[in-house]
Amino acid sequence: MSEKHGSDAEFLSNGRAGADGGESESRLLLKEIDGGSELFVNQMDLRFVTLWFTLDLALKDRKAELLGDPARSLQGLRLQAFTEEAVDTSDLASSSSKLVLVVGGTGGVGQLVVASLLKRNIRSRLLLRDLDKATKLFGKQDEYSLQVVKGDTRNAEDLDPSMFEGVTHVICCTGTTAFPSKRWSEENTPEKVDWEGVKNLISALPSSVKRVVLVSSVGVTKSNELPWSIMNLFGVLKYKKMGEDFLRDSGLPFTIIRPGRLTDGPYTSYDLNTLLKATAGERRAVVIGQGDKLVGEVSRLVVAEACIQALDIEFTQGKAYELNSVKGDGPGSDPQQWRELFKAAESK
């Protein structure tokens, strides 16, 4: 039996459940806590350091600096690549064949997912309502590394099949506030985002997709029980569960991540360099459970890392996991430690 971390009241105080799209407008938001595991960059073969470093920094970065190009935000990534602990590269070869579709890529969790994929040299494609947000956050990237397409999952007609050509994996981290807020304007409600949006997305995906990771929320199976019924007053948990069930019945290979109350950030309105330096302070240790028993909170950085790790852990397919983070050392981006954490959750 997994141990509970945090309290129901503490989780509910945020006015938010699971995946998010940025700054909460709810007056129930009481605090945001700094903390957690750093996202690390790819460890490059030293044989390529001189060529890569010289050409990239001496030419591109100098030009970007003079022109004020937002791509200059990548400088921090490149300089840190050889001074900080690196992402495990054991799966680097297979990473080159991936094309990860990120839906909700400018939200609190999604932007961290995208930043981490860029660190790993994993190609990604962002499905966004506002293309300008991608440029502001991630700078001007080459289209091979980061592609951006305009579309709204709430509108099925927006999801043209061409958007999904070549996509091998999907991470969906869309969301809105649990309670009425400014973010509910223009039909950005839980029903539209967490149910209709997810349903439309899943329906549009090709059967060739190797894994769909959906960010949901703890408490989705308990929406009629206190205290979850309070969080569900406007249906957020109900609609997230409906989205989960639709994915389960779709026949697509999936993993569902159910985070607790989200902490750290959200880092919206910052550039890529800021995202790459984001940390979760002392809250680096990860707690993974099953059976919707966890209650506490979790760093957005940890959620983003869990989504990326789940893409390649075969035994997580077809399963849902709850996610918390607590004080202590965590797995960082080590694939083996994440495998052990996911496996341990199944034995509790």
pLDDT digits (tens, 9 = 90+) for 40-49: 333 333 333 3
Torsion of CA 256, 110, 114, 322, to 10 degrees: -30
Domain boundaries, the chain: 8-43+81-347
Tell me phi and psi for residue 55, to 5 degrees.
-65, -45
Q: 160: how many CB neighbours lie within 10 A of its CB?
A: 11
Average pLDDT value for residue range 336-341: 97
- Pairwise pLDDT comparison (252 vs 14), residue with the higher score: 252
Q: 99: how many CB neighbours lie within 10 A of its CB?
A: 17
pLDDT digits (tens, 9 = 90+) for 123-173: 999 999 988 888 888 887 888 899 999 999 999 999 999 999 999 999 999
pTM flag (> 0.75): no
**What pLDDT shows up at residue 141?**
81
Q: Span 8-43+81-347: which CATH code?
A: 3.40.50.720
**What pLDDT shows up at residue 93?**
40
Percent of the chain exceeding pLDDT 90 equals 56
Contact 174, 21 (CB under 8 A): yes
| pLDDT-wise least confident of 9-23, 69-83, 208-222 | 69-83
The region that residue 86 occupies, defined by phi over 0 for left and psi between -120 and 50 for alpha, beta otherwise, is beta
Q: How many CA atoms lie within 13 A of 172 on its CB side?
A: 27
- Pairwise pLDDT comparison (143 vs 60), residue with the higher score: 143
**What pLDDT shows up at residue 142?**
81
Mean of pLDDT over the chain = 77
DSSP states of 23-51: S---TT------BBPPP-EE---GGGHHH
**b/e sequence 195-212, b meaning 16+ C-beta within 10 Å:** bbbbbbbbebbeeebebb
| Cβ-proximal residues to 84 (8 Å cutoff; 6+ apart), any chain | 38, 40, 41
**What pLDDT shows up at residue 84?**
36
Distance CA 194, CA 234 (A): 12
**b/e sequence 242-278, b meaning 16+ C-beta within 10 Å:** bbbebbeebebebbbbbbbbbbbbbbbebbbbbbbbb
The closest alpha carbon to 172, from 120, 234, 109, belongs to 109
Contact 40, 121 (CB under 8 A): no
**What pLDDT shows up at residue 347?**
76
Question: Hey, CA dihedral for 158, 163, 165, 166, is it positive or negative?
Answer: negative
The closest alpha carbon to 167, from 89, 116, 102, belongs to 102
**What pLDDT shows up at residue 138?**
83
Strand 146-150 and strand 169-172: the pairing is unpaired
